[in-house]
């Protein structure tokens, strides 16, 4: 197996002349050749996503991990915790250690076998999201032989497997010898993993090219060549899809999605990820603010016309939950369905002393989701809550949100991994990064569940917590957003929706082109 080609070297300006450049340009023909699947990504591909150790707490890096790497245990079609590199695992009775037995005969792209030593190395070098929690809770890793190891914990941690498998990149295995040989940056420039596709070349912000890894243990990938192109503009992505230059276009929204469904040969694929959106009433703990009155908050919730918003913006694909906790999260409590009742909302407002509604100042939101804001604005105005839309540039919005500078209504969202407990910790409970205040009974429940080892008991406490959040109307949930992508005529199995809650195409080895191997 030839080692992957060295990363892009620096071509000095001197060596370049306009005429020569014509020839030098990568001549990827603009009509997609056969045996190749071209995916247009809406975001620029970051090399950090090629290295499991750097996985940030967002879903996007897993788009790359599923292609280039493989994990001990990962979400697969039909099974959120499917055994992959780890054939089997057992938890010790005292829940202080987990024993794993590796699948035999599994190779990395460079032909090296996957061994327990690599698993130990991958866990210890992990420095992505929640790496501190992992470091605190994991006592150590004992390698028994090439295919058996045990991970010891300092204290019982019911969520260990969730973290190790799906919430972080710790469980995704990299070849120790190769990483130490090429170093951290070298590895990012030419990653080697055990996934279904091998890294071929990467032009930052432009294009990633991968090739099928025949030796993949699960099954050899059906498509020979996989190319990810970065096409930032949504309209251009749709045009490229219509022209057949690309096969899959990530993130097509609103009216462009309408057009896509109407174009013959193209199909829209929607996957409900774990990104929930809500309105957060930042001033509810301030007695003078109208939002202090629970009826006003409930009125805002009732004003939202969820169905129409869903139909308009995501063709009805988004999941209308009435909770800020994603439905596919552990310990999820199903609240009553969301209701759109402007009349009752106006009655509640009148009772709360606002017969003619009130001016509620600013409505803060992330500029890239201002389209939701504009629609919600109209709904609120219909019941008399008059707000002014204040969209902030993405980074500035999160900064202000975290620094608790935002007021009145905040259109919040989170696609972070974890379970209902981790989501509550960040947004609901006292001291949470985005909690502007908290309620004692909820804080007490949270503390109680943190110490509870019995899963059933813990689930009951978390359910009660979510019920309290719902009753106090801390939030007015909007939806669990569907991530919509377009699929071209050449694609057989597009891989969308195979893995529950995963917005991108996966597992890559199952993808097929129509009519061709």
Partner 1 sequence: MKQYILRRVGYSLLSLFLLSLTIFLFVRVTGDPVALLTEPGASQEDIEAMHRQFGLDQPLWVQYWHFIASFITGDFGQSFYYRTPVLDLYFQRLPNSLILAAVAMALSLVIGIPSGILAAVRVDGFWDSAGKLFALLGLSLPQFWVGLVLILVFSVSLGWLPSSGSGSFLHILMPAFTLGWYFAAAHMRLTRSSMLEVMGSEYVKLARLKGLPEALVIGKHALKNALIPVITLAGINLVVMINVAVIVETVFAWPGIGRLLYEGVTFRDFPVVQAVVVIGGSMIILVNLLIDILYALIDPRIRLES
Partner 2 sequence: MTVITPPEAAIVTVASAPRPAAFWRLKGFPLIPILILVFIALVAIFADVLAPYDPTIGSLARRFRPPFWQEGGSTAYLLGTDHVGRDVLSRLIYGARVSMVVGITAVLVAGGIGTLLGILSGYLGGWADQVVMRLTDTWLALPALTFAIFLAAIVGPSELNIILILGLVYWTRYARVIRGEVLSLKQREFVRLAIVAGCSSRTIMWRHILPNVINSAVVLATLMLGVVIVTEASLSFLGVGVPPPKPAWGLMMADGKKGLLVGYWWLTVFPGVCIMLMVLSANLLGDWLRVKLDPQLRQL
- Minimum CB distance to partner 1, residue 117 (Å): 25
Closer to partner 1 by Cβ: residue 51 or 510: 51
**DSSP character string of 49-83:** GG-GGG--SSSTHHHHHHHH--BSEEEETTEEEEE
Applying CB under 8 A, the span of 202-210, 313-321, 332-340, 451-459 interacting with partner 1 comes to 202-210
Q: Does 43 bind partner 2 (CB under 8 A)?
A: no
Burial track 113-137 (b if 16+ CB lie within 10 A, e otherwise): ebbbbbbbbbbbbbebbbbebbeeb
- Angle ∠(169,423,372) on CA atoms, nearest 5: 100
- Judged by beta carbon distances under 5 to 8 A according to partner kind, the member of partner 2, partner 1, none in contact with residue 143 is none
Q: Does 145 bind partner 1 (CB under 8 A)?
A: no
Helix axes 370-383, 342-351, angle to 10 degrees: 60
Among the listed residues 155, 185, 214, 258, the single contact to partner 2 using CB under 8 A: 258
Q: Does 132 bind partner 1 (CB under 8 A)?
A: yes
Strands 207-212 and 197-203, by their bridges, are: antiparallel
Among the listed residues 79, 144, 243, 455, the single contact to partner 1 using CB under 8 A: 243
- Minimum CB distance to partner 1, residue 421 (Å): 12
- Judged by beta carbon distances under 5 to 8 A according to partner kind, the member of partner 1, partner 2, none in contact with residue 258 is partner 2
Closest CA to 53 of 131, 141, 111, 159: 131
Among the listed residues 100, 164, 281, 427, the single contact to partner 1 using CB under 8 A: 427
Residues 478-517 that bind partner 2 (CB under 8 A): none
Which secondary structure element, helix H or strand E, spans residue 136, and what is its range? Answer: helix 131-137
Among the listed residues 155, 184, 286, 374, the single contact to partner 2 using CB under 8 A: 374
Applying CB under 8 A, the span of 70-78, 130-138, 162-170, 256-264 interacting with partner 2 comes to 256-264
Burial track 54-73 (b if 16+ CB lie within 10 A, e otherwise): bbebebbbbbbbbbbbbbbb
In the three-class reduction of DSSP (H, G, I as helix; E, B as strand; rest coil), residue 36 is classed as strand
DSSP symbol at 470: H
Q: Does 377 bind partner 2 (CB under 8 A)?
A: yes
- Judged by beta carbon distances under 5 to 8 A according to partner kind, the member of partner 2, partner 1, none in contact with residue 232 is partner 1
Residues 220-239 that bind partner 1 (CB under 8 A): 229-233, 235-236, 239
Among the listed residues 2, 287, 337, 395, the single contact to partner 1 using CB under 8 A: 395
Closer to partner 1 by Cβ: residue 114 or 190: 190
- Minimum CB distance to partner 1, residue 313 (Å): 21
Place of tokens 């509550």: 424
Q: Does 316 bind partner 1 (CB under 8 A)?
A: no
Q: Does 255 bind partner 2 (CB under 8 A)?
A: yes
Applying CB under 8 A, the span of 88-96, 335-343, 408-416, 461-469 interacting with partner 1 comes to 408-416
- Angle ∠(299,301,302) on CA atoms, nearest 5: 65
Q: Does 440 bind partner 1 (CB under 8 A)?
A: no
Closer to partner 1 by Cβ: residue 10 or 356: 10
Site track for partner 1 across 244-263, x = CB under 8 A: -x------------------
Cβ-contact 168, 108 below 8 angstroms: no
Closest CA to 190 of 9, 49, 50: 50
- Judged by beta carbon distances under 5 to 8 A according to partner kind, the member of partner 2, partner 1, none in contact with residue 234 is partner 2
Start-to-end C-alpha separation, the chain: 23
- Judged by beta carbon distances under 5 to 8 A according to partner kind, the member of partner 2, partner 1, none in contact with residue 44 is partner 1
What CA–CA distances, in Å, run from 140 to 130, 135, 150, 163?
17, 9, 8, 16
Residues 11-40 that bind partner 1 (CB under 8 A): 11-13, 16, 18, 21-22, 24-30
State the Cα–Cα distance between residues 406 and 285, nearest whole angstrom: 14
Handedness of CA 379, 385, 387, 393 (dihedral sign): negative
Number of residues written out for the chain: 517
Q: Does 312 bind partner 2 (CB under 8 A)?
A: yes
State the Cα–Cα distance between residues 439 and 437, nearest whole angstrom: 7
Among the listed residues 20, 24, 92, 367, the single contact to partner 2 using CB under 8 A: 367
DSSP symbol at 138: E
Cβ-contact 113, 146 below 8 angstroms: yes
Place of tokens 């209308």: 320
Q: Using CB under 8 A, list all residues that contact partner 2.
A: 234-235, 238-239, 242, 254-256, 258-259, 305, 308-309, 311-312, 367-368, 370-371, 373-375, 377-378, 381, 389-393, 395-396
């Amino acid at each position: 197996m030839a080692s992957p080609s060295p990363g892009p070297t620096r071509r000095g300006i001197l060596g370049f002349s306009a005429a020569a450049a014509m020839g030098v340009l990568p001549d990827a023909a603009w009509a997609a050749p056969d045996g190749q699947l071209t995916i247009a990504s809406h975001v620029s591909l970051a090399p950090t996503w090629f290295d499991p150790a750097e996985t940030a707490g967002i879903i996007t890096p897993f788009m790359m991990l599923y292609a280039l790497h493989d994990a001990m245990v990962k979400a697969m079609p039909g099974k959120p915790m499917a055994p992959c590199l780890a054939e089997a695992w057992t938890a010790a009775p005292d829940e202080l250690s987990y024993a794993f037995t590796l699948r035999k005969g599994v190779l990395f792209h460079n032909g090296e076998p996957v061994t327990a030593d690599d698993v130990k190395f991958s866990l210890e070098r992990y420095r992505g999201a929640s790496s501190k929690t992992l470091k605190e809770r994991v006592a150590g890793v004992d390698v028994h032989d090439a295919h058996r190891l045990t991970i010891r914990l300092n204290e019982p941690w019911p969520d260990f497997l969730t973290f190790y498998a799906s919430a972080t990149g710790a469980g995704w295995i990299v070849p120790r010898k190769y990483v130490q040989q090429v170093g951290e940056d070298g590895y990012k420039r030419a990653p080697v993993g055990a996934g279904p596709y091998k890294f071929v070349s990467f032009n930052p912000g432009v294009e990633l090219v991968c090739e099928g890894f025949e030796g993949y243990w699960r099954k050899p990938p059906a498509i020979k060549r996989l190319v990810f192109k970065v096409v930032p503009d949504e309209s251009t992505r749709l045009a490229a899809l219509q022209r057949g230059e690309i096969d899959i276009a990530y993130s097509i929204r609103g009216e462009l999605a309408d057009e896509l469904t109407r174009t013959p040969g193209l199909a829209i694929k929607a996957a409900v990820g774990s990104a929930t959106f809500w309105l957060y009433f930042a001033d509810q703990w301030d007695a003078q603010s109208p939002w202090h009155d629970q009826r006003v908050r409930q009125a805002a919730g009732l004003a939202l016309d969820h169905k129409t918003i869903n139909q308009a913006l995501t063709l009805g694909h988004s999941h209308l939950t009435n909770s800020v906790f994603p439905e596919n999260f552990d310990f999820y409590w199903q609240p009553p369905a969301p209701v759109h009742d402007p009349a009752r909302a106006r009655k509640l407002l009148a009772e709360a002393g606002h017969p003619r509604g009130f001016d509620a100042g600013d409505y803060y939101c992330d500029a890239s989701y201002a389209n939701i804001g504009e629609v919600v604005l109209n709904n609120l105005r219909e019941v008399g809550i008059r707000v002014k839309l204040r969209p902030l540039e993405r980074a500035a919005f999160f900064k202000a949100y975290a620094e608790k500078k935002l007021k009145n209504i905040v259109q919040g969202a989170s696609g972070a991994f974890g379970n209902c407990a981790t989501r509550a910790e960040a947004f609901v409970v006292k001291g949470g990064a985005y909690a502007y205040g908290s309620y004692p009974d909820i804080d007490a429940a949270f503390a109680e569940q943190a110490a509870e080892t019995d899963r059933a008991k813990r689930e009951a406490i978390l359910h009660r917590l979510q019920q309290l959040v719902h009753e106090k109307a801390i939030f007015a949930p909007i939806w669990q957003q569907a991530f919509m992508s377009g699929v071209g005529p050449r694609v057989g199995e597009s891989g969308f929706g195979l893995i529950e809650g995963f917005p991108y195409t996966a597992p890559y080895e199952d993808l097929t082109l129509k009519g061709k191997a």
